[in-house]
């Protein structure tokens, strides 16, 4: 075989790789758009359920397939993780107070904790130490955002954890 044959094969493989990556990027954008639409629809459903005299926890219990990330039997740490992941599809820094409010909206029994906010602060600090969340500053207060790299398996390039403090 000559070098021309391999060069053509290489050129085609590069075009195919480029096309596949472009398609994946388009699908990522489409998925992000769908995630935002789902979040808005869920918020609307929860608002309407309150107007109908129902609670969010009853709605989640009745339709668990529509709210897989809002299982009220889930532990508090997993609940905090889910709140962070769902905050604008994991791309928004939020305060511990907002985390508490979202947990309450999700049906967690926030009244069963003597000092829930203190517990949330402890969980967020631990998740930050573990590289699962990133921190930022807003008006001099620490905010938190899900570190998408934490979802990648360890030992992979995407699994590299960053603990960089960012200003927002």
Q: Do 103 and 167 fall into the same domain?
A: yes
pTM of model > 0.75: no
What local confidence, expressed as pLDDT, does residue 132 receive? 92
The CA distance from 150 to 137, in Å, is 21
Query: Which tens digit of pLDDT belongs to each residue from 24-80?
Result: 889 988 988 887 888 889 888 888 988 998 877 788 778 888 877 666 566 889 889
Q: Do 26 and 98 fall into the same domain?
A: no
The CA distance from 125 to 122, in Å, is 5
Q: Do 140 and 89 fall into the same domain?
A: yes
Q: Please check whether residue 63 lies inside any domain of the structure.
A: no
**Which of 127, 125, 128, 78 has its CA nearest to residue 103?**
78
Q: Please check whether residue 106 lies inside any domain of the structure.
A: yes
Identify the domain containing residue 155 by its residue range: 71-168
Torsion of CA 77, 57, 95, 75, to 10 degrees: 0
Give 136's strand partners.
Answer: 143, 166
């Amino acid at each position: 075989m000559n070098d021309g044959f391999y060069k053509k094969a290489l050129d085609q493989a590069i075009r195919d790789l480029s096309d596949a990556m472009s398609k994946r990027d388009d699908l990522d954008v489409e998925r992000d758009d769908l995630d935002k639409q789902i979040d808005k629809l869920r918020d609307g459903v929860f608002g309407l359920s309150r107007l109908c005299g129902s609670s969010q926890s009853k709605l989640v219990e009745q339709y668990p397939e529509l709210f897989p990330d809002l299982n009220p039997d889930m532990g508090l740490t997993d609940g905090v993780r889910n709140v962070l992941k769902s905050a604008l599809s994991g791309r928004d820094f939020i305060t511990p107070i907002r985390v508490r409010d979202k947990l309450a909206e999700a049906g967690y029994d926030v009244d069963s904790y003597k000092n829930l906010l203190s517990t949330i602060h402890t969980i967020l600090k631990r998740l930050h130490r573990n590289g699962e969340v990133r921190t930022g500053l807003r008006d001099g207060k620490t905010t938190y955002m899900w570190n998408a790299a934490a979802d990648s398996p360890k030992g992979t390039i995407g699994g590299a954890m960053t603990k960089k403090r960012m200003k927002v």
